[in-house]
Amino acid sequence: MSAALAGCASLGPDFKEPETTLEKQWFESLPPAAQAAPAAEAAWWKAFNDPVLTALEERAYQRNLSLQVAGLHIFKARAQLASGVENLLPQTGSVSVGANHINTSGVGPLPPTHLWAEHFHANAGWELDFWGKYRRQIESDRAQLRVSEAAYDNALVSMFADVANAYIDLRALEQRIVVAQQNLKSVQDSLALTKARYTRGASSQLDVEQAATLVAETEAQIPPLIKARAQDRDTLAVLLADPPDAMDAQLKGSSAVPVAPTQIDVGIPADLLRRRPDVRQAALNAAAQSALIGAAKAKLYPSFSLTGLFGLSSGEQHGIGLSQWGSKTIGLFSAGVSLPIFDRAQLQNAVRIQDAAFQEAVLDYQNTVLQAQKEVEDAIAALRTSLDALAASARASDASQRALRLANAQYRSGSVTYDSVLDASRSALRDGDSLAQNQGIAALAAVSLYRALGGGWEVAQGQQVVSEQIADEMARRTDWGRLLNPPANSALARARTSAPPDGK
């Protein structure tokens, strides 16, 4: 039977990575440079040269709760795979050990009796995996383990990008607040000058009212910026698993908007199959679903089972002037065949369900690849255009500041009306705010490109997927064996390669 079993092939399709539509080169491009920053380096946020951002990313990696949950999914998948492997061994079994001791007093002419008996029974049942039902399930569980690892990597990519987004937006808002406060001081000085000129009869009441209106307009722009900055601070607090009041201390040390790297090595579209965890996750989902087709098909075929019983009993009896002792051994082995008949249509429909689910997974994978390419193309275009907009807004802000200085000087000399100061002040506020916004937009576009390229998950390679505190608590609460930290050469260990699955 063992030779025949070894020669049996598992039912169902062997997974092959679905074909995808990939361009050879990106349609969008960034300006050429002598040396570009790698796109998928382990810590891409260091390209912004902001120590506070780097510290926040490192703290988030250690403390983020959503990431810890993704790590626990890996533990669950390991336990599921280990449980499935056990199906290759006897699936049912029990051991019974017992003893009886009976004493009876004499009744009438019968003397007292003494009886001592003991037994040991063991039985086991094993369904042979003749058609690969359990092997296909194990194949699916193994792919699901890799799915959970890819999902963890994808959570890393998103977390690092979310931290950078919240931090950059916070710094851009701070810069906009500074610009608004500087302009507020400027228009307040202008209001004081206008009032002084009005007192001397050199300007009209209209000039005073216009100056007061501009002061109020500038003041009104500051509270919404402060509110938005507080929301970004609170977002960072959640990402770092810290209370909001602890964030201000962590944000000290820098106030400028991080400067976006102007050159990023985007590679080629085929790199996405390796770089992007969500692409690998979709491929592994398809691999896991493919194996379930074979597991369902195997239920349509006869199942072969072996059962065995071994027993040992002994006893001793005294009474009626006699003494008896004896022991016996029982051994029973049987084989059985089970053939689905009445539920065959139900089982056939179960195969169809799994096949349709597999086709869905294939299409989802292909769509994920297309979506990944779109996101990269969009991010490249966004970074290029935002850098162009940033350069233009910087020129506009410089020009409007010069115009404001000239308008104020000419107003003091009486060569222009206050309308010129009013227009110049509003332009300076608008262009300064636009510059701060575009600084943030350019930096955020760079983050989006890093996210689209799947950068950042490499920092977790070879590292534990939950904190030591959580792992210790779980080990104290439950016997996890080596599942929390399996050997590197174990099938339960994290995959060292990021290559797409081949179905094996």
* 483 falls within a domain: no
Taking all residues of the chain, what is their mean pLDDT, rounded to a whole number? 85
Cα 218 off chain centre by = 42
| pLDDT at site 413 | 86
Q: Which H helix or E strand runs over 313?
A: strand 303-319
| pLDDT at site 287 | 95
pLDDT score of 249 more than 70: yes
| pLDDT at site 446 | 94
| pLDDT at site 340 | 83
Rounding to the nearest 10 degrees, give the CA dihedral for residues 402, 408, 413, 416. 90
| pLDDT tier at 83, thresholds 50, 70, 90 | confident
pLDDT score of 102 more than 80: no
Tokens 């050997």, residue located: 487
CB distance 206 to 233 below 8 Å = no
Tokens 């109020």, residue located: 216
| pLDDT at site 79 | 93
* 205 falls within a domain: yes
pLDDT digits (tens, 9 = 90+) for 107-162: 556 566 666 667 666 777 667 878 888 889 999 999 999 999 999 999 999 999 99
Q: What is the end-to-end Cα distance of the chain in Å, rounded?
A: 25
| pLDDT at site 52 | 94
Tokens 């505190």, residue located: 469
pLDDT score of 322 more than 90: no
* 44 falls within a domain: yes
Spatial distance between the Cα atoms of 55 and 51, rounded to a whole number of angstroms:
6
* 263 falls within a domain: yes
* 106 falls within a domain: no
Which one has a higher pLDDT value, 6 or 263? 263
pLDDT digits (tens, 9 = 90+) for 375-419: 999 999 999 999 999 999 999 999 999 999 999 899 888 888 888
Domain count, the chain: 1
pLDDT digits (tens, 9 = 90+) for 172-192: 999 999 999 999 998 898 899
Q: What is the CATH number of the domain that holds 344?
A: 1.20.1600.10
Which one has a higher pLDDT value, 343 or 435? 435
pLDDT score of 358 more than 60: yes
pLDDT score of 169 more than 90: yes
Tokens 């608590």, residue located: 473
Q: What is the pTM of this model?
A: 0.85
| pLDDT at site 504 | 46
What does residue 155 show for φ and ψ, rounded to 5 degrees?
A: -65, -35
| pLDDT tier at 7, thresholds 50, 70, 90 | very low
Tokens 């006699």, residue located: 322
CA angle (487 as vertex; 481, 489 as ends), nearest 5: 140
| pLDDT at site 265 | 84
| pLDDT at site 54 | 94
* 190 falls within a domain: yes
* 316 falls within a domain: yes
* 308 falls within a domain: yes
Residue-range definition of the domain harbouring residue 406? 2-86+112-477
| pLDDT tier at 38, thresholds 50, 70, 90 | low
